[in-house]
């Protein structure tokens, strides 16, 4: 049983409070390496002696500056009335701090994790009782791994800007075929007879689970405003849970109309010793329960949690 793997611990944390624009901006500076690999991580560019910035470095720095300004000057909409807002921690599981988590899914008693960064991307099969990596398949460079989801005896794995989804054998994790798509790939989950995919915008795309062909889209809104930067996804009970990049919150989305029906603050889970670049990302429902596994990029811990009303 997965539950047996966790050390007994119970605490409550959460409460969104007022947005802190300075906090958002400082977090972004540490997050500049989230997209595109180490070449444009802001601290590396400024800290590395005798290193000449390339045109690519400058381009990414300019993009980072634009996002800093937009994050600092934009007040996020408040969460919807009703629905869970807090998180109850039920236990913890060790997590590989070398895993730049992009996707997390628990299926058939096996925990699957997709990781990113050029030259470091992988798909892993984890022991849900110990967190140990039982099997790992690396993506060839320059592919940048993103979200994953299980579909019967296959696993789909997205890539960021490579325009490629990789279908893998669930047992061996080996590649079976590739299909192409337009735009970026971020998060992926299975909602019954369809896949739901995010691309970092406020839009979710519905796809066929076999052919990967697009069958429609929906714009996600909260208080009437688009919710952008939708990242890792988890489909459960007809709803879509999403990490929101550059925040410590997850949102619950009704895929029928795109409305956010709950916003949960997970800021209390952030380990004290991880850098700002290690953002919250990774959410997996525990089948047969109302619980989830959540973690972050390069975090030392996977948390088993329940979302509560207070």
Give the model confidence (pLDDT) of 226-268 as tens digits: 999 999 999 999 999 999 998 999 999 999 999 999 999 999 9
For the chain, give the percent of residues with pLDDT over 90. 69
Query: Could you read off the pLDDT of 198-217 as tens digits, one per residue?
Result: 999 999 999 999 999 999 99
- The encoded tokens of residue 126 equal 């984890």
Q: Whole-angstrom Cα distance, residue 257 to residue 291?
A: 25
87-105 in b/e burial notation, b at 16+ Cβ within 10 A?
bbbbbbbebbeebbbbbbb
Question: What is the average pLDDT value for the chain, to the nearest integer?
Answer: 80
What pLDDT was estimated at residue 82?
67
More confident residue, 39 or 178: 178
Residue 275 confidence class, pLDDT cut points 50, 70, 90: confident
Q: Alpha-carbon torsion 35, 37, 41, 45, what sign?
A: negative
Residue 68 confidence class, pLDDT cut points 50, 70, 90: very low
Q: Whole-angstrom Cα distance, residue 126 to residue 106?
A: 9
pTM (global) more than 0.85: no
**Which of 176, 145, 181, 187 lies closest to 163, judged by CA?**
181
Query: Could you read off the pLDDT of 3-12 as tens digits, one per residue?
Result: 333 333 333 3
- The encoded tokens of residue 85 equal 């807002």
What pLDDT was estimated at residue 80?
56
- For the chain, the maximum distance between any two Cα atoms, rounded to a whole number of angstroms, is 55
Q: How far is residue 247 from each of residues 4, 87, 139, 296, measured CA to CA in Å?
A: 30, 15, 28, 11
Residue 58 confidence class, pLDDT cut points 50, 70, 90: very low
**Which of 64, 142, 73, 150 lies closest to 104, judged by CA?**
150
End-to-end CA distance of the chain: 28
């Amino acid at each position: 049983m997965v539950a047996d793997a966790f050390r007994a611990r119970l605490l409550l944390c959460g409460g969104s409070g007022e947005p802190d624009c300075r906090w958002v901006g400082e977090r972004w500076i540490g997050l500049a390496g989230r997209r595109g690999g180490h070449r444009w991580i802001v601290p590396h560019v400024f800290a590395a002696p005798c290193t000449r910035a390339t045109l690519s470095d400058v381009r990414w720095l300019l993009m980072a500056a634009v996002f800093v300004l937009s994050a600092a000057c934009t007040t996020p909409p408040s969460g919807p009335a009703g629905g869970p807002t807090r998180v109850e921690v039920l236990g913890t599981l060790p997590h590989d701090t070398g895993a730049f988590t992009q996707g997390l899914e628990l299926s058939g008693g096996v925990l699957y994790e997709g990781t990113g960064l050029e030259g470091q991307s992988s798909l892993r099969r984890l022991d849900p009782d110990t967190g140990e990596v039982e099997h790992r398949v690396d993506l060839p460079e320059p592919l940048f791994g993103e979200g994953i989801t299980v579909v019967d005896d296959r696993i789909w794995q997205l890539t960021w800007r490579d325009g490629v989804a990789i279908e893998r054998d669930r047992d061996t994790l080996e590649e079976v075929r590739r299909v192409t798509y337009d735009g970026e790939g971020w998060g992926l989950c299975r909602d019954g007879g369809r896949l739901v995919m995010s691309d970092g915008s406020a839009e979710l795309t519905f796809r066929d689970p076999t052919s990967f062909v697009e069958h429609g889209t929906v714009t996600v809104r909260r208080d009437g405003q688009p919710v952008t930067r939708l990242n890792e996804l988890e489909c459960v009970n007809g709803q879509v849970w999403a990490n929101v990049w550059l925040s410590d919150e997850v949102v619950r989305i009704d895929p029928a109309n795109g409305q956010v029906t709950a916003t949960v603050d997970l800021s209390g889970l952030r380990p004290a010793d991880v850098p700002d670049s290690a953002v919250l990302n990774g959410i997996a429902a525990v089948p047969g329960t109302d619980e989830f596994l959540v973690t972050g990029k390069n975090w030392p811990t996977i948390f088993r949690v329940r979302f509560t009303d207070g």
